[in-house]
Structure formats: C-alpha cells, structure tokens
Structure 1
Amino acid sequence: MLEQLQRLQTHIGALKTRLETVENENRSLLKEKDNSEEKSHAQIMHKNSIITHKQDEVDNLTEQLSALQSQFQQLNTDASALAERYGRLEKSCTDLKTRFQEILAERNELRIIKEKVLNEQRHAQQEITDLHAERKRLIQKNDHAKAKVEAIIQRLAILGTEQDHHAQEIQQLAHPTENNEEASS
C-alpha cells in the first residue's frame, strides 16, 4: 500500500505538474483569446469602417449613376430629335436637289428657246433688211418707170398736140365752114 500511496503521490505530483502546465496553457490561451478578440474586434471595427466607406462610395456611385442615366436619357432624347431633324433636313435637301434639277432643266429649255428666238430674230432682221433693200429698189424702179411714163406722156402730149394740130388742119380742110364758125364764136 505504501507503494500504492507513493505511486498515487507520484501520480498526484505528475497530475499537479500537468495541472499547472494545463493552467499555464489555459492562461496563455486566455491571453491569446483576449488578444485575438481585441485583434478581431479591431479588425471588425476596421472592416466596419471600410464597409461604411465603401457604402458611402456605393451611394456616391449610385447617385452618379442616376445622374449619368438621366444624362443618357437626355442624350438619347436629343439624339432622337437630331435624327428626326436630320431626316427632315435630308428630305429637304433631296427636295432642293430635285427642284434644282428642275430649274436647270427649265433653264436649258429657256436657253434653247432663247437661241431659237434669237435665230428667228436674226432671220426676221435679215428679212427686214432684204425687204428694205427690195423696197428701195422698187421705189427706184417705180421712180424710173414714173419718169419713163412721164416722158412717154410728154411725148404723147407733144405728139397728140401735133396730131391734134394735124387733125384740125385736116378737119379744116374737110369742113372749112365749121372751123370758121368755131373761130368766130
């Protein structure tokens, strides 16, 4: 029994030593746990501040996104209005091109008509010039014919008076008494 008692004492000593070791370990573990808790609490606080900062950034970015989305919608509206306006301008441009081509065609037709009228005017002017020359020639011819007719009339008058004179002489010779009566009256 003594032996058993010694063994028990040895076991108790070993258990005490072991208990002290375990208590020391427990204390160091508690210190570590406290240190870990402090560290984790500090880390949690740090992470919370980072989360708060990130949340503020997210809120800022959300506001910026809302502003940018409204700008995007405004730009889309402006782009639609500009596209519609561009379409109207393009249609107007096409209409203007068509009208310009029509005007060019009309101008070309007017040029052709102008050339035709100018050509006709030149021909008419030439005809007028020719007619004036013809008139002048005819007037000269008429004057020449008139002069000839007058000369003929004068010759005939001269001849007529000579013939009348000869006829009177013949009548006097043929009817001497009638001539005497005419001369006395």
Structure 2
Amino acid sequence: MLEELQRLQAHLSVLKTKLAHYESENSSLTEDKDSASEQHHAQIVHKNGIITQKQEEIETLTEQLTESRSQFQHLNNDATSLADRYSRLEKSCTDLKNRFQEILAERNELRIIKEKMQNEQRHAQQEIQALQQERERLLQKNEHAKTKVEAIIQRLAILGTAQDQHAQEIQQLAHPTDANEEV
C-alpha cells in the first residue's frame, strides 16, 4: 500500500506538473486569445471606418455622377439647340448669298441698261444738235429765200408795169396773212 501511495503521489505530482503546465498554457492561450480578440476588434473598427469612408465617397461620387449626368443632358440639349440654330443660320446664309448674287446680277443688268441709255442719250443729243443745226441752217435758208422773194417783189413793185396784178399775187403768196386781212 505504501507503494501504491507512493505511486499515487508520483502520479499526483506528475498531474500537478501537467496541471500547472496546462494552466500556464491555458493562461498563455487566453492572453493570446484576448490579444487576438483586441487586434481583431481594432481591425474591425478600422475596417468599419474604411467602409464608412468608402460609403461616403460612393455617395459623393453618386452625387457627382448625378450632377454630371444632369450637365451632360443640359449640354446635349444645348448642343441640339446650337445645331438647330447653326443649320438655320447656314440656311439663312445660303439664302442671303443667293439673294446677294441675284442683286449683283440685277446690278449688272442695270449697269448694262444704264450704259445703253447713256449711249442712246448721247445719240439723241447728237441728233438734237444735228437737228438744231439743220433747223438753224433751214431758218437761215428760209430767211435768205424770204429776203430774195421780198427783193424780187420790191423790184416788181418799183417797175410799175402791167404785171402789177401778178406782183400782188406773188406778194399775197409771200405774205398770206396780209392778203387775208385785206379780204
């Protein structure tokens, strides 16, 4: 029995040593677990902070995207209206260009008509001058003939011959108004 007791005591001392070893190992593991838990909690807090920051960035980017889409839509509308205005201006420019060409053609036609009328006016003035010269010449010729006829009538009247009657007829022919007054 003593042997058994000694064996039991030896087992107990081995068990105590193992228990002390397990307790120290358990406390070491508990410390490791607590340390790991703290690290894990710190990482979770850090990750949650990052997640919150990323969510805020996402919200900011979403707002920017909404604003950018709104600006894009506005710019698209502006581009469409500008394209419409440009096409209207281009059409107006084409119309103005065509009208300008028509006006230039009309101006050229008017220049030709003006030159033609100026030539006609020059010719008409030359004709008028020629007719005036002809008139002057005919008036001078008429005056010259008149003076000759009057001279002949005077000579016949001076002669006092039997041809008095013929002289009076000639005189009446020369001055028909005087003859009408006498009648």
| Shift in CA distance, 103/17, structure 1 to aligned 2, threshold 3 Å | same
Q: Which runs of 5+ in 2 are unaligned?
A: 165-183
Partner in structure 2 of residue 57 of structure 1: 57
1:103 aligned onto 2:108: no
| Shift in CA distance, 70/163, structure 1 to aligned 2, threshold 3 Å | closer
Provide the rounded CA distance (Å) in 2 between the counterparts of 1:18 and 1:111.
130
- Larger relative contact order (Cα-Cα within 8 Å, sequence gap ≥ 6): 2
Q: Which runs of 5+ in 1 are unaligned?
A: 165-185
| Stretch moving more, 93-102 or 15-24 | 15-24
Equivalent position amino acid for 2:157 in 1: A
**SS where residue 161 of structure 2 aligns?**
helix
| Shift in CA distance, 162/30, structure 1 to aligned 2, threshold 3 Å | same
Partner in structure 1 of residue 68 of structure 2: 68
**SS where residue 161 of structure 1 aligns?**
coil
1:156 aligned onto 2:156: yes
Deviations 1:78-126 (A, max 9, x none): 1101110111011001100000110011011101101111111111111
| Shift in CA distance, 159/47, structure 1 to aligned 2, threshold 3 Å | same
Partner in structure 2 of residue 91 of structure 1: 91
1:20 Cα deviation from its structure 2 partner: 3.9
1:142 aligned onto 2:142: yes
1:18 Cα deviation from its structure 2 partner: 5.3
Q: TM-score, normalised by structure 2?
A: 0.76
Aligned residue pairs, count:
163
| Shift in CA distance, 138/51, structure 1 to aligned 2, threshold 3 Å | same
Equivalent position amino acid for 1:142 in 2: N
1:37 aligned onto 2:37: yes
Provide the rounded CA distance (Å) in 1 between the counterparts of 2:149 and 2:112.
53
**SS where residue 69 of structure 1 aligns?**
helix
- Give the % identical residues: 71
| Shift in CA distance, 127/163, structure 1 to aligned 2, threshold 3 Å | closer
| Stretch moving more, 22-31 or 138-147 | 22-31
| Stretch moving more, 147-156 or 82-91 | 147-156
> For 1:9-28, what aligned pairs fall within 5 Å after superposition?
17=17, 20-28=20-28
Provide the rounded CA distance (Å) in 2 between the counterparts of 1:13 and 1:38.
36
Cα RMSD of the aligned pairs, angstroms, is 2.8
Provide the rounded CA distance (Å) in 2 between the counterparts of 1:94 and 1:46.
69
